[in-house]
């Protein structure tokens, strides 16, 4: 009977999962986009509603203050941008709900007009990246405005209990379930019977023909985005008292929702909603089982459930995921062949020399900033391989890095193996996990790797890192300093040259050597046969298969190599901190790693270097904070999300690609070169 | 055992209720350029898709390629066995240069080979240079395919299929989008490939091209094979004429 009660209690989370899943399906059917930011939209609305109810304030997303660097340099305050619009002390329930849903609608409109409409013909990669940007941006905005602690949520649904089916349970669970059923039936009828629905289905089938027949695919997408956002917002507001109001929780409901939507092949409302409610119910029952039944191992199984659902959905239905007959014209970011010209070799040498000087003689913050940058470069390189070269997205890089960190703590410190052996074992462990996780997604195309890695990133975080007893009960494990030939090179070890302050130059130099080796390996990879095959797979999976390339094999090797690099980065994070802590390897850190890697330039080694300077507490951030006196750290996630969207929409080659073209044009101008650009030479050849 | 390189027996492709290819028996022989023609929607491209393993769930019957059954084998494995194809829509790898386009297809990359290649550097493959020479592409080998003319792009596709040690080339509309002169030139290149020892099965709409370069021709209509024979026989076959002139079928 208790199980029945817990099952009913699961309707609360189930309804939220179902509603977000419905929104995902609506948006996918109308525009072919899997919106990873859909949970974040629900969270943003729930926060807005509560802010209106308690303080009568509408949050304004943080805007850049253009004079901030000047303020910082001269230590004056010129002006501050408003953070909230006040509409009285506290707003009544109905108006507050209406305003919150209006905000949801506006978010939907912005998502469509400012992002996905511009990416209509772009490759899947750009769309997924942009939607991850939305997720980080909104989550970051919530944290900036409301902090990351849980808040008391205002209740709309009655707080009563009812005595149905022999159990006394809160009525809101039944009401939420009813609402989801109503929404599902409504959407099903809308898409089945109305002209709007028929037109949307036609456009999804073949956008070109539908457009020729007078269907305006664009206006349908507008309606669908608004509809999807309002749905998410409504359920977010109603259910937040039950599931709790924290910036992460609703945002991360995207993961089970993705599982539910995938089970419905991103097209069936009924299956998606049923699966969503089902996940909520099963999770709730599993919680109780784990507590009560002795035969159920205490493994945090409920946390891993969404991952299992997604993996199953991919294996069972992945191949049949409907793809849109859309017209794609967008280009993928160019993966330049690294050419070692004399200019470039000298530029890299200068870069390395400056790094060496910084880690040896610069003040504390700059030194540690340089160390962070080196780790960031390795993480960036790991994404260059999997995303830049193969066009697949990994949202679990930090989870893999965490495994590397954990392994190095276990093998090196606990088991007492020498540094090099422990490092190699850690990298191998990360490689293996990365390859295994990618397995379910290998046969599917498009955004599937992004989905499965997001889910497994969370599963590793919740299931392994936070598990009592396995990965250390206190979430932390100590890591001894790395030592080579009896020479200790940890961040706190002594070093013969320099001022003897921490972090030790020895550690910094070791990091530089390892990072340079990683960078050279990735450059070599680009030139190798395997690297060519990776780019062939990225360009066209079907043609690659026909040319005798094992597409699954190439994807898996990319994933393994990428995981090895991430594992390496994780191991050095552990050395840097002197311990393994689960918090350094959370899911949102993974997302911002992708953001910075993409912003730096996802398909070149230079881009990874750029990403490293921007990454959390990297040298670029340190310089901005120290010289311009700006507090950037707090805004990192938010800004990362913003620039991620911007990069995906306007310049998918990132900063590195941008500087390459600028540099190229500049050189041409200086030389007075009038020969056509490479792109323009096609005509010449034809003639 | 037949001596044909490719022999289909009762090949049928079904999409739900639609019979796209209906019980087709056709063959391609060594040393020959075989044409496959038919009106729009006759099932020509579908047949090629089925033979090269892209329709594992829809195709039935049997396809004997080089003495072994090909149906139910993955496209990349068939490519390794020498069954290579091009697409109507080209499907080149625009991110890498023309030479690399050929290189990726030229040899099977086992994990060991990939490692050796990574640490020692790629060996120079004579065949790539020869093939580029054969197709007149040497001077553009370092460019991206996206910078080439349509005719050259078509040849990159053919070259990619050739270097994979093709035992049979399946070309889907190689002349589509080419002007008269380019088509004639393409026909000459295709004859050179066949004389050099690789048989070709070619689907095309350009009747002039197909009739002038083919040794034998198969004709499909509504998924059924309606005629097979030399260009001369096909030119005079009444059923084929009726199929192509459509309405005149009422004369019977």
What angle, 0 to 180 degrees and rounded to 10, lies between the N-to-C axes of helices A2-9 and A269-292? 140
Calculate the average pLDDT of chain A: 81
In whole angstroms, give the CA distance from residue B211 to residue B207: 6
In whole angstroms, give the CA distance from residue B140 to residue B145: 9
Q: Give the minimum alpha-carbon distance from A663 to chain B in angstroms, rounded to a whole number.
A: 21
B122 and A529 in contact by Cβ < 8 A? yes
A536 and B104 in contact by Cβ < 8 A? yes
In whole angstroms, give the CA distance from residue A224 to residue A327: 20
- CB neighbours (10 Å) of residue A97? 21
The residues on A that touch B, with CB distances below 8 Å, are: 332, 334-335, 524-525, 527-530, 532-533, 535-536, 538-540, 542-551, 557, 678-679, 681-682, 685-686
Residues in A touching B76 (Cβ below 8 Å): 544-551
Say yes or no: B83 contacts chain A, CB-CB below 8 A.
Answer: no
Say yes or no: B149 contacts chain A, CB-CB below 8 A.
Answer: yes
Q: Give the pairing type, strands B59-65 and B216-221.
A: unpaired
CB contacts < 8 A, A to B, total 112
Q: Report the residue of chain A nearest B121, measured CA to CA.
A: A528
A682 and B148 in contact by Cβ < 8 A? yes
Residues in A touching B162 (Cβ below 8 Å): none
* Nearest Cα to Cα of residue A459 among A538, A418, A384, A403: A403
Which residues are within 8 A (CB) of B193 and not within 5 positions of it... i.e. 6 or more apart? B134, B158, B162, B169, B200
Q: Give the DSSP letter of residue A478.
A: E
B94 and A539 in contact by Cβ < 8 A? yes
A337-A342-A347-A351 Cα dihedral, nearest 10 degrees: 90
In whole angstroms, give the CA distance from residue B138 to residue B162: 15
Give B245-249 contacts, CB < 8 A, sequence gap 24+: B246/B39
In whole angstroms, give the CA distance from residue A295 to residue A293: 6
This prediction has a pTM of 0.83
Indicate if the alpha-carbon torsion angle A531, A535, A538, A541 is positive or negative: negative
Tokens of B245: 């002139």
Contacting B residues, span 160-219, partner chain A, CB-CB under 8 Å: 160-161, 164
B147 and A550 in contact by Cβ < 8 A? no
User: Are residues B229 and B32 in contact, defined by beta-carbon separation less than 8 angstroms?
Assistant: no
Tokens of B235: 């030119």
Look at residue A430 and tell me whether its pLDDT is greater than 50: yes
Q: Report the residue of chain A nearest B51, measured CA to CA.
A: A546
The pLDDT value given to residue B216:
92
Say yes or no: B45 contacts chain A, CB-CB below 8 A.
Answer: no
B8 φ, ψ to 5°?
-100, 145
Q: Give the pairing type, strands B83-85 and B168-172.
A: parallel
Most A CBs within 10 A among B93, B102, B111, B112, hence the mutation to make, goes to B93
Say yes or no: B153 contacts chain A, CB-CB below 8 A.
Answer: no
In this structure, of A14-18, A494-498, B66-70, B160-164, the range with the lowest mean pLDDT score is A494-498
Give the N- to C-terminal CA distance of chain B in Å, as an integer.
Answer: 39
Give the N- to C-terminal CA distance of chain A in Å, as an integer.
Answer: 81
Residues in A touching B122 (Cβ below 8 Å): 527-529
Q: What is the pLDDT of residues A245-288, one digit of tens each?
A: 888 888 888 889 988 988 888 888 999 999 999 988 888 888 78
Tokens of A445: 């195309």
The pLDDT value given to residue A72:
67
Element (H, E) at A239: helix A217-243
B104 and A532 in contact by Cβ < 8 A? yes
Residue A542 has its nearest CB partner, among B91, B94, B144, at B91
Residues in B touching A685 (Cβ below 8 Å): 140, 143, 147-149, 152
Quick check: bond before A546 cis, omega within 30?
no
Q: How large is the average pLDDT for residues A470-478?
A: 56
The pLDDT value given to residue A382:
94
Residues in A touching B87 (Cβ below 8 Å): 543, 546
Q: What is the 3-state secondary structure (H, E, C) of chain B?
A: CCCCCEEEEEEEEEECCEEEEEEEEEEECCCCEEEEECCCCCCHHHHHHHHCCCCCCCEEEEEEECCEECCCCCHHHHHHHCEEECCCCCCCCCCCCHHHHHHHHHCCCCHHHHHHHHHHCCCCCHHHHHHHHHCCCHHHCCCCHHHCCHHHHHHHHHHHHHHCCCCEEEEECCCCCCCHHHHHHHHHHHHHHHHCCCCEEEECCCHHHHHHHCCEEEEEECCEEEEEECHHHHHHCHHHHHHHHHHHHHHC
Q: Report the residue of chain A nearest B85, measured CA to CA.
A: A546
Q: How many residues does chain B have?
A: 252
Q: CATH assignment of A364-671, given 1.10.3470, 2.40.360, 2.60.40, 3.40.50?
A: 1.10.3470
Say yes or no: B222 contacts chain A, CB-CB below 8 A.
Answer: no
Element (H, E) at A509: helix A505-527
Describe chain A by its helix, strand, coil percentages, rounded to 5. Answer: 70, 5, 25
Q: How large is the average pLDDT for residues A395-407?
A: 89
The pLDDT value given to residue A317:
67
Percent of chain A with pLDDT over 70: 87
- CB neighbours (10 Å) of residue A180? 25
Residue B149 has its nearest CB partner, among A527, A544, A685, at A685
A557 and B114 in contact by Cβ < 8 A? yes
Between A81 and A255, the higher pLDDT residue: A255
Q: What is the pLDDT of residues A154-212, one digit of tens each?
A: 777 777 777 777 777 777 788 888 888 999 999 888 888 887 777 777 776 666 666 66
A331 pLDDT tier (thresholds 50, 70, 90)? low
Buried b (16+ CB within 10 A) or exposed e, A398-411: bbbbbbbbbbbbbb
In whole angstroms, give the CA distance from residue B130 to residue B83: 20
A345 pLDDT tier (thresholds 50, 70, 90)? confident
- CB neighbours (10 Å) of residue B111? 10
In whole angstroms, give the CA distance from residue A296 to residue A537: 43
A446 pLDDT tier (thresholds 50, 70, 90)? low
Percent of chain B with pLDDT over 70: 94
A539 and B114 in contact by Cβ < 8 A? no
Say yes or no: B95 contacts chain A, CB-CB below 8 A.
Answer: yes
For chain A, give every domain's residue range.
2-315, 364-671
Residue B104 has its nearest CB partner, among A524, A549, A557, at A549
Q: Please, what is the Cα angle at A273 between A268 and A278, to 5 degrees?
A: 125
A529 and B52 in contact by Cβ < 8 A? no
B76 and A546 in contact by Cβ < 8 A? yes
| DSSP-based three-state secondary structure for A586 | coil
The pLDDT value given to residue B201:
93
What is the C-alpha R_g of chain B?
19
B96 and A536 in contact by Cβ < 8 A? yes
Q: What is the pLDDT of residues A592-624, one digit of tens each?
A: 888 888 888 888 888 899 888 888 788 888 887
In whole angstroms, give the CA distance from residue B117 to residue B15: 43
Q: Give the minimum alpha-carbon distance from A326 to chain B in angstroms, rounded to a whole number.
A: 15
B122 and A525 in contact by Cβ < 8 A? no
Residues in A touching B104 (Cβ below 8 Å): 529, 532-533, 536, 544, 547, 549
Which residues are within 8 A (CB) of A384 and not within 5 positions of it... i.e. 6 or more apart? A522, A597, A602, A603, A604, A605, A607, A608
| DSSP-based three-state secondary structure for A85 | strand
Indicate if the alpha-carbon torsion angle B73, B75, B81, B82 is positive or negative: positive
| DSSP-based three-state secondary structure for A194 | coil
Indicate if the alpha-carbon torsion angle A185, A191, A195, A198 is positive or negative: negative
Look at residue A677 and tell me whether its pLDDT is greater than 70: no
């Amino acid at each position: 009977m208790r199980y029945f009660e817990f099952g009913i209690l699961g309707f609360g989370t189930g309804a939220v999962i179902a509603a977000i899943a419905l929104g995902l399906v609506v948006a996918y059917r109308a525009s072919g986009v899997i919106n990873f930011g859909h949970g974040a939209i629900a969270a943003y609305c729930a926060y807005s509603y509560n802010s209106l109810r308690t303080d009568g304030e509408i949050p304004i997303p943080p805007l850049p203050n253009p004079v901030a660097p000047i303020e910082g340099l001269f230590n004056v305050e010129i002006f501050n941008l408003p953070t909230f619009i006040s509409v009285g002390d506290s707003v009544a329930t109905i108006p507050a709900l209406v305003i919150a849903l209006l905000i949801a609608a506006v978010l939907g409109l912005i998502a469509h007009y400012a992002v996905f409409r511009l990416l209509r013909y772009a490759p899947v990669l750009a769309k997924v990246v942009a939607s991850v940007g939305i997720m980080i941006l909104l989550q970051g905005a919530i944290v900036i405005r409301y902090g990351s602690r849980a808040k008391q949520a205002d209740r709309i649904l009655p707080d009563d209990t009812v005595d149905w089916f022999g159990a006394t349970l809160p009525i809101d669970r039944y009401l939420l379930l009813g609402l989801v059923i109503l929404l599902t039936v409504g959407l099903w009828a809308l898409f089945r019977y109305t002209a709007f629905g028929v037109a949307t289905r036609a456009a999804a089938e073949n956008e070109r023909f539908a457009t020729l027949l007078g269907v305006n695919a664009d206006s349908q997408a507008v309606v669908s985005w608004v509809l999807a956002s309002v749905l998410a917002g409504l359920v977010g507001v109603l259910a937040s008292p039950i599931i709790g109001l924290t910036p992460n929780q609703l945002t991360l409901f995207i993961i089970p929702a993705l599982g539910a939507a995938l089970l419905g092949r991103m097209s069936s409302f009924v299956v998606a909603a049923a699966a969503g409610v089902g996940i909520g119910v099963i999770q709730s029952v599993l919680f109780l089982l784990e507590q009560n039944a002795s035969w159920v191992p205490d493994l945090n199984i409920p946390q891993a459930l969404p991952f299992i659902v997604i993996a199953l959905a991919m294996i069972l239905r992945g191949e049949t995921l409907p793809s849109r007959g859309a017209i794609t014209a967008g280009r993928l970011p160019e993966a330049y062949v690294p050419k070692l010209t004399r200019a470039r070799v000298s530029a890299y040498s200068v870069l390395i020399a400056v790094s060496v000087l910084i880690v040896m003689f610069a003040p504390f913050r700059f030194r540690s900033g340089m160390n962070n940058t080196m780790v960031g470069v390795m993480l960036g390189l790991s994404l260059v391989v999997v995303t830049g070269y193969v066009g697949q997205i990994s949202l679990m890089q930090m989870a893999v890095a965490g495994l590397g960190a954990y392994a190095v703590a276990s093998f090196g410190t606990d088991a007492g193996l020498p540094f090099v052996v422990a490092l190699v074992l850690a990298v191998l462990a990360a490689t293996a996990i990365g390859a295994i996780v990618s397995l379910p997604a290998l046969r599917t195309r498009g955004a599937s790797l992004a989905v499965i890695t997001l889910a497994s990133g969370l599963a590793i975080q919740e299931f392994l890192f936070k598990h009592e007893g396995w990965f250390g009960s206190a979430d932390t494990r100590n890591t001894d300093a790395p030592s080579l030939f009896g020479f200790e090179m940890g961040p706190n070890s002594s070093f013969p040259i320099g001022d003897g302050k921490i972090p030790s130059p020895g550690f910094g130099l070791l990091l530089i050597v390892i990072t340079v080796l990683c960078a050279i390996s990735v450059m070599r990879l680009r030139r190798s046969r395997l690297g060519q095959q990776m780019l062939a797979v990225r360009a066209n999976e079907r043609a690659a298969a026909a040319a005798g390339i094992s597409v699954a094999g190439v994807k898996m090797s990319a994933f393994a190599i990428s995981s090895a690099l991430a594992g390496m980065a994780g191991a050095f994070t552990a050395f840097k901190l002197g311990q393994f802590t689960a918090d350094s390897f959370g899911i949102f850190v993974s997302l911002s790693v992708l953001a910075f890697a993409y912003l730096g330039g996802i398909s070149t080694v230079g881009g990874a270097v750029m990403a490293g300077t921007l990454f959390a507490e990297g040298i670029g951030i340190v310089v901005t904070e120290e010289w311009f006196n700006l507090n950037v750290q707090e805004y990192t996630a938010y800004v990362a999300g913003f620039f991620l969207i911007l990069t995906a929409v306007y310049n998918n080659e990132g900063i590195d690609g941008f500087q390459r073209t600028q540099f190229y044009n500049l050189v041409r101008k200086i030389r007075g070169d009038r020969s056509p650009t490479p792109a323009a030479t096609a005509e010449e050849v034809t003639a | 055992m037949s001596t044909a390189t490719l022999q289909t027996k009762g090949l049928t492709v079904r999409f739900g209720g639609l019979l796209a290819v209906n019980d087709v028996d056709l063959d391609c022989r060594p040393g020959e350029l075989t044409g496959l023609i038919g009106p729009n929607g006759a099932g020509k491209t579908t047949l090629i898709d089925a033979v090269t393993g892209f329709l594992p769930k829809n195709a039935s019957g049997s396809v004997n390629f080089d003495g072994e059954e090909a149906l139910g084998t993955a496209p990349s494995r068939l490519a390794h066995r020498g069954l290579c194809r091009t697409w109507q829509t080209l499907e080149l790898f625009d991110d890498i240069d023309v030479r690399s386009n050929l290189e990726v297809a030229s040899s099977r990359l086992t994990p060991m080979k990939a490692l050796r290649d990574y640490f020692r550097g790629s060996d120079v493959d004579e065949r790539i240079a020869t093939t580029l020479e054969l197709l007149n592409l040497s001077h553009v080998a370092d460019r991206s395919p996206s910078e080439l003319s349509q005719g050259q792009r078509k040849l990159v596709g053919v070259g990619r299929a050739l270097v994979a040690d093709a035992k049979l080339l399946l070309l889907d509309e190689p002349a589509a989008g080419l002007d008269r002169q380019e088509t004639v030139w393409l026909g000459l290149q295709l004859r050179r490939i066949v004389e050099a020892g690789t048989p070709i099965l070619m689907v095309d709409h350009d009747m002039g091209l197909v009739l002038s370069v083919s040794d034998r021709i198969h004709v499909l209509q509504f998924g059924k094979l309606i005629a097979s024979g030399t260009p001369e026989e096909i030119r005079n076959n009444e059923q084929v004429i009726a199929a192509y002139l459509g309405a005149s079928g009422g004369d019977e």
